[in-house]
Structure 1
């Protein structure tokens, strides 16, 4: 399964994947109304891009990570925070101990990898009444080094035959996540969405590292991936002075549990 590929190089994932804007983390904590040392369940922490800032805020965290190598790196990153622990397993088959509930159940940039039949019910079941279910989605949007991303399309069309010829980055004002599953739950109240953009400037090497962590890139045959990365590296070096800026749009999607 594609969701398993992230565990193949956990150190690269930890080094390359960006964290989340501090304003998003603050909004998540304050919006959930967490008590001091409140208990948080995080599903799919990766290597702790969200887990570490939540732990730094003094929260008690149980993180459930499918990949054992990713979990090992997360544990290392959480060593300064004894109230944060990581369990290895698929969330579809994992549950809190009987009688335990959390104030916040959150999944950041991993929700789409969880079985749609169980992801909202199982996250909601972990919540105490009044607790918050939160999703963080990450969108790649227009902005930053716009000329680079337009030209990079040619690299993708050459080396990845499945690339649509008219593929372009969307304007962030047109990007919205599908909240149908949350809206349909009779255990959850109204859904709220807040947006948090961020731009990150990458060197050529750092940008190639980010691309190597994406599942669709890792799924390419080795010769095609090498050709794609070489094409992009040449573009950054020859036309953009060795660095490019990428714009992300993160959505913080929340809903409170309204039933016992």
Structure 2
């Protein structure tokens, strides 16, 4: 199964357990793009509408959403069934066609699933003059307190490729995406903003969150269950809660 298809299996859990994006992030997008309430927004990979809601909370409701996963698109459609100006299209972005131009195109922890040779050019073509692209991602932050060290041992035992000691640092991840966006040649005035939050989870909540991550979804069910049971038991042993630091990176650019 492709990574980008895994979220469709756990739509309800995704909506419940995935962390929300900081309010400041949406304020920064709105201020940078100078959005008006009548402007047209396009969201690529809306999932269950978590980022969509970030703009709705500021009363921006002219939003067209494109989502590959059928269950995800259905959940989001039901969520906004009383909002006539929020449209959900169940389609891959690469295949989706539109004759409309947009003032803001945004994507939340999804654009890496789009073929970059198609995605950036297509966004450019869909933007109005001086329109804004806003791409943002959650970025994993490795932690080295005793609990996280013990969790790392579980991954080394059952799924060594998920040991975050082998993963790029947050700076490397952020710099790589900045390089990619800059070198498309489609956007100027590119800015990067970072936000950090700390979330507290019970053992059950934490493994439910992990169960929405694509790389965990790609594990065999047997391996996944062993990892999750071991992690949940470990969190119980360490007092019943785990704190996870979450970094968000936002990239802003204007159409040349």
TM bucket (normalised to shorter chain) is over 0.9
State whether structure 2 residue 59 is matched by structure 1 residue 61: no
Give the secondary-structure state (helix, strand or coil) at the position aligned to 2:94: helix
Match of residue 104 from structure 1: 104
Q: 1:219: Cα distance to partner?
A: 0.9
CA contact (8 A) 2:70 2:90 kept: yes
Q: 1:82: Cα distance to partner?
A: 2.7
Query: d(CA) in 1 for partners of 2:204 and 2:250?
Result: 30
1:129–1:140 CA distance, 2 compared to 1 (3 A): same
Give the secondary-structure state (helix, strand or coil) at the position aligned to 1:190: strand
CA contact (8 A) 1:55 1:84 kept: no
1:168–1:175 CA distance, 2 compared to 1 (3 A): closer
Superimposed CA distance per residue, residues 9-62 of structure 1 (whole angstroms, 9 cap, x where no aligned partner): 211111111110111111111211111231100000110110012123222100
Give the secondary-structure state (helix, strand or coil) at the position aligned to 1:210: helix
1:164–1:210 CA distance, 2 compared to 1 (3 A): closer
Match of residue 161 from structure 2: 162
Query: What is the aligned length?
Result: 253
Residue segments in structure 1 that go unaligned for 5+ positions in a row: none
State whether structure 2 residue 85 is matched by structure 1 residue 86: no
Match of residue 244 from structure 1: 242
Give the TM-score of the pair, scaled to structure 1. 0.91
Query: d(CA) in 2 for partners of 1:109 and 1:175?
Result: 13
- Give RMSD over aligned pairs: 1.9
1:25–1:159 CA distance, 2 compared to 1 (3 A): same
Residue segments in structure 2 that go unaligned for 5+ positions in a row: none
Query: d(CA) in 1 for partners of 2:228 and 2:163?
Result: 18
1:249–1:167 CA distance, 2 compared to 1 (3 A): same
Q: How does 1:116-131 map to 2 (within 5 A)?
A: 116-131=116-131
Give the secondary-structure state (helix, strand or coil) at the position aligned to 1:200: strand
Give the secondary-structure state (helix, strand or coil) at the position aligned to 1:199: strand
1:166–1:188 CA distance, 2 compared to 1 (3 A): closer
1:177–1:51 CA distance, 2 compared to 1 (3 A): farther
Q: 1:142: Cα distance to partner?
A: 4.0
Give the secondary-structure state (helix, strand or coil) at the position aligned to 1:227: helix
Q: 1:165: Cα distance to partner?
A: 8.6
More helix by share: 2
Give the secondary-structure state (helix, strand or coil) at the position aligned to 1:92: coil
Q: How does 1:101-250 map to 2 (within 5 A)?
A: 101-142=101-142, 146-163=145-162, 166-167=165-166, 170=169, 176-178=174-176, 179-239=178-238, 241-250=239-248
1:30–1:165 CA distance, 2 compared to 1 (3 A): closer
CA contact (8 A) 2:142 2:164 kept: no
Give the TM-score of the pair, scaled to structure 2. 0.92
CA contact (8 A) 1:140 1:169 kept: no
Query: d(CA) in 2 for partners of 1:103 and 1:165?
Result: 38
Q: 1:76: Cα distance to partner?
A: 2.2
Match of residue 77 from structure 2: 75
Match of residue 253 from structure 1: 251
1:181–1:168 CA distance, 2 compared to 1 (3 A): closer
Query: d(CA) in 1 for partners of 2:167 and 2:173?
Result: 13
CA contact (8 A) 1:203 1:244 kept: yes
